Amino acid sequence: MLLLVDLDGTVWRGDAPVPGVAELLVEREAQGDVITYVTNNSTRHRADYLARLAAVGAPASLERIVTSARATALHIAGLRPRVERVLAVGSPGLVRELREVGLSVMSAGEAAEAAASGVPAAVAAGNPQAVVVGLDRHVDYGRLAIASTCVRSGALFVATNRDSVFPTEHGLAPGAGAIVAAIEVASGVAPIAIGKPGPLLLRVAADSVGVPLEGAVVIGDSIHTDIPAARAAGIASILLLTGVTRPEHLDGLAPGEQPTIVARDAEELRAALEGLTA
């Protein structure tokens, strides 16, 4: 069985591993399950997650870690007619993922600097065929302007995810979706969104390990991203109450929006997985 496992709130909370989850995933892999990790985070390269998963004792390999940045890169690389030139609004991790699939990438920061010297926007950006937008902690007016200009000029608009906020130790901070929304308003064009709650991240993750998505199970902690993504993909979901979702949050969900199974901890997750494979 293919297990599509979220990271933040599911395998770890902040700096601490969620008790028992890594050990359970080791057991499930030994029983023949394929463990693939799926996260909306677009700022880090997969190698960063590989090191962290190894540190908590979870089974992992580079090809079985699919961030929204990696999924975006694979999605664009598979488009026909072929896309070769990309403008990226995002982190170095996003730029690296895009380059590793063979794309020619110009960062929005570099393009904005060139445009500020009087070079036409499209030329400054390398005449991109696509504009990819993720979380960019250094975003400014120049980067928004050049990205929206390229989208208005016909470049494909792709969002790694549309998360409006993300949690930090100081509270909620603007997410990639806030930047995406600014470019959408300025360009008048809606993006293709790769990350959860849509199904594209899950489909790319299944394709990347060569396992059919049908019959897969999503394991995650969010009723706003993980569970709707599973529903959109037509597969089962297990909501793990170790992250952002509390039991009372389920009361407001319609019957069709409920997860397949709810698990409070790793032991209940073990029982849920055994029930699905019985």
Q: Determine the Cα–Cα distance for residues 238 and 40; give it in Å rounded to an integer.
A: 18
Which two structure tokens, joined as six digits, stand for 158?
């792709």
Q: Determine the Cα–Cα distance for residues 97 and 72; give it in Å rounded to an integer.
A: 9
Closest CA to 245 of 262, 267, 269: 262
DSSP assignment of 109-173: HHHHHHHHTT--HHHHTT--SEEEE---TT--HHHHHHHHHHHHTT-EEEES---SEEEETTEEE
Query: What pLDDT tens digit does each residue of the chain (278 aa) get?
Result: 999 999 999 999 888 999 999 999 999 999 999 999 999 999 999 999 999 999 999 999 999 999 999 999 999 999 999 999 999 999 999 999 999 999 999 999 999 999 988 889 889 899 999 999 999 999 999 999 999 999 999 999 999 999 998 877 677 889 999 999 999 999 999 999 999 999 999 999 999 999 999 999 999 999 999 999 999 999 999 999 999 899 999 998 998 999 999 999 999 999 999 999 87
**Is residue 220 a contact partner of residue 188, using CB atoms and an 8 Å limit?**
no
Domain 2-40+196-277 CATH (choose: 3.30.1490.20, 3.40.50.1000, 3.30.70.870, 3.40.1190.20): 3.40.50.1000
**Is residue 183 a contact partner of residue 197, using CB atoms and an 8 Å limit?**
no
pLDDT for position 145: 96
* Marked catalytic residue, from 8, 33, 163, 221: 8
Instruction: List the domain boundaries for the chain.
Output: 2-40+196-277, 81-193
* Marked catalytic residue, from 6, 33, 136, 226: 6
265 carries an active-site annotation? no
In this prediction the pTM is 0.94
- CATH architecture label of 81-193: 3-Layer(aba) Sandwich (3.40)
DSSP assignment of 222-240: -TTTHHHHHHHHT-EEEEE
Look at the chain and count its residues: 278
8 carries an active-site annotation? yes
Asked whether this chain's domains 2-40+196-277 and 81-193 adopt the same fold, the reply is yes
